[in-house]
Amino acid sequence: MRKIELLAPAGNREKLETVLHYGADAAYFGMQKYNLRKFADNFSDAEVPDAVAYAHKLGKRLYATLNIIPFHSDLEDLPRAVQLLESAGVDGVIVSDLGVLDIVRENSSLPIHVSTQASNTNWRSVRQWHRLGAKRVVLAREVPIDDIRRIKDAVPEMEVEVFVHGAMCMAFSGHCFLSAHLANRDANSGGCAQSCRWRYAIVEQTRPGEYIPIEETERGTYVFNSRDLCTIEFLDKLLDAGVDSLKIEGRVKGIHYAATTTKIYREGLERWKGRKFEVDSAWIDELMTVSNRGFTSGFFLGKPTVRDLNTTETQYYFTHVLAAKVEADLGNNEYVLWSRSPFYREMFTEWIPVEGVSREITFESFNNHETGEPMNVAMPNYRVRVKCSEKLAVGDLLRQPSADKEKAWNPKVQQWARDQAWREKSWREKIIGDKK
C-alpha cells in the first residue's frame, strides 16, 4: 500500500508541535514574508532551523510556503530566503508563481510543490509543472474526485495533494480581489480581510444611496460566504482516486482546532488503510467542537448548489473551548497544566488523547503550581498542578463546554447543527449512499 501523507497547518511553533503530536506526518509553515497568511504568527529566519530539526527528530516533514503572487520588490530578498530554507533542511517549498519557481531552482535543490493558487484543474497543466521540475501539485479546490483520478492516471509520476478540511474561498483557487478593493489588503499577498464574509446589498442604478438587501434571512444575505470544507465522510473516495497528501487548512486557527482536525483525519486515514472504511458518527461531532461555519463537500462530488456551499452565518460556531494543555508530567499521575481560558475545576472536562475517543476527566487535586494553594478556577496562563486518574501525555489538550450562550452545546446549538446542509439526510446519502 502506498504511503499517504497527512499534512497539517503550523502557524507557529506551538501549532507545529501540536499537529505532530496528534498524528500529522508533515506540517506546512510560513516565514515572515512570501506566504498567504500574513497575519499568522509565522516563523522568523532564526526559528526555521530549530523547527525543521524538531520535525525531523520525530521522523516528520516540514514544508515552507512561498506562495504569494509576487511583484518585483517581493523577489529581491527571495534568493537569500530560499538558501536559508535549504540550509535549514526543509523538505520542500510550496510555490504558485513561475518566477518564484525559477528562483528556487536557481538557488537550491529543494523539492517544489505547486500551490492550489496555481489553479491546476487538468492533467496537461499538471504535466507541464512536472516538466518544469515540480514534484507535487496541490490541486485547485474546484476539481471533482473523478478528475483527480484522471489527473493521477495521466501523470502518475506527480504527487497529488488536496485540501480536505477548512475554510473555503468564494473565488476560483483563492484569486480574490474583494479584500484589496474594499480593505486595501491584498489576498494574493497574504493580507485577506475575508471581505466575502461581510453582509451585502444591491443598489439600483437610478436610485443611488438606496441599499436593497437580498433577503435570505432576517439578518440579510451573505452571497459570497462559504461553509467550511469537510471530507471526512468520503475520505476513502479521495484516497481511492490516488491522492498522495491530505491537507488541512488553518494556519491562523488555534491549537484546539489544529489538534482536533488532525486527530480526526488521522483516524479516518488509519481506517482506510484497513481497507474497510466505515464512517464513525462521532467524527463530525468532534469536528463541531472547534471553529466552523457548517460543512460542505465542496466540489469533490460535483458542482454544489448555492444552498450546499453558502451559509448565512457570519460567525464561527464551536461547542467547546480549549481549557488547558499538559505542560509537564510530574509522575504518580500528577501534571502541570497550562490554562488557556478560564479553567473550572468542577466543570465537565474532556481529555483529548492522541488515540481513542475524547473522554471525561476529573481531578483529585487542583492547585496553584507556584503556591500550592487549592483553586476552583484558573484564569488564562496559570500553571495548575493537578492529580487525576488518567495517564496523560505532555502536549495533550483538555477542553470544556463553551461558556458563550450563543455557542455553548445546548439545545439551541443542537438545533442549529441539525439545520445545516451537511446534517441533512439527503446530503449524507449523497456522500455515503453507495456504500450501503
pLDDT digits (tens, 9 = 90+) for 202-234: 666 777 776 655 554 444 444 556 778 999 999
Domain end among 279, 309, 339: 309
* 64 and 106 both lie in a single domain: yes
* 299 and 197 both lie in a single domain: no
Q: Reply yes or no on whether the pLDDT at 69 is more than 50.
A: yes
Q: Reply yes or no on whether the pLDDT at 321 is more than 50.
A: yes
- Could you give the C-alpha distances from 309 to 117, 266, 305, 314, 427, in angstroms and in order? 20, 25, 6, 14, 12
Q: Is residue 413 part of a domain?
A: no
Q: Is residue 429 part of a domain?
A: no
Domain end among 266, 287, 309: 309
Percentage of the chain modeled with pLDDT above 90: 60
* 251 and 351 both lie in a single domain: no
* 129 and 161 both lie in a single domain: yes
Q: Is residue 54 part of a domain?
A: yes
* 256 and 368 both lie in a single domain: no
* 355 and 303 both lie in a single domain: no
Q: Is residue 416 part of a domain?
A: no
Instruction: Say how many domains are in the chain.
Output: 3
Q: Reply yes or no on whether the pLDDT at 139 is more than 90.
A: yes
* 186 and 92 both lie in a single domain: no
* Choice among 56-70, 83-97, 172-186 with the minimum mean pLDDT: 172-186
* 158 and 242 both lie in a single domain: yes
Who contacts 81 (Cβ-Cβ below 8 Å, separation ≥6)?
31, 33, 34, 45, 66
Q: Is residue 435 part of a domain?
A: no
Domain holding 75, by residue range, is 5-168+226-309
* 280 and 142 both lie in a single domain: yes
* 115 and 230 both lie in a single domain: yes
* CATH number for position 374: 2.40.30.10
Q: Mean per-residue pLDDT for 290-310?
A: 74
Task: Give the CA angle between residues 85, 87, 88 to the nearest 5°.
Answer: 65
Q: Is residue 43 part of a domain?
A: yes
* Choice among 126-130, 273-277, 420-424 with the minimum mean pLDDT: 420-424
- Could you give the C-alpha distances from 114 to 8, 92, 146, in angstroms and in order? 17, 10, 21
* 345 and 369 both lie in a single domain: yes
**Average pLDDT over the chain, rounded to whole?**
83
* pLDDT for residue 433: 39
pLDDT in tens, 360-395: 999 999 999 999 999 999 999 999 999 998 999 999
Q: Reply yes or no on whether the pLDDT at 288 is more than 80.
A: yes
* CATH number for position 27: 3.20.20.70
Domain end among 265, 282, 309: 309
* 134 and 79 both lie in a single domain: yes
Q: Is residue 347 part of a domain?
A: yes
Q: Is residue 98 part of a domain?
A: yes
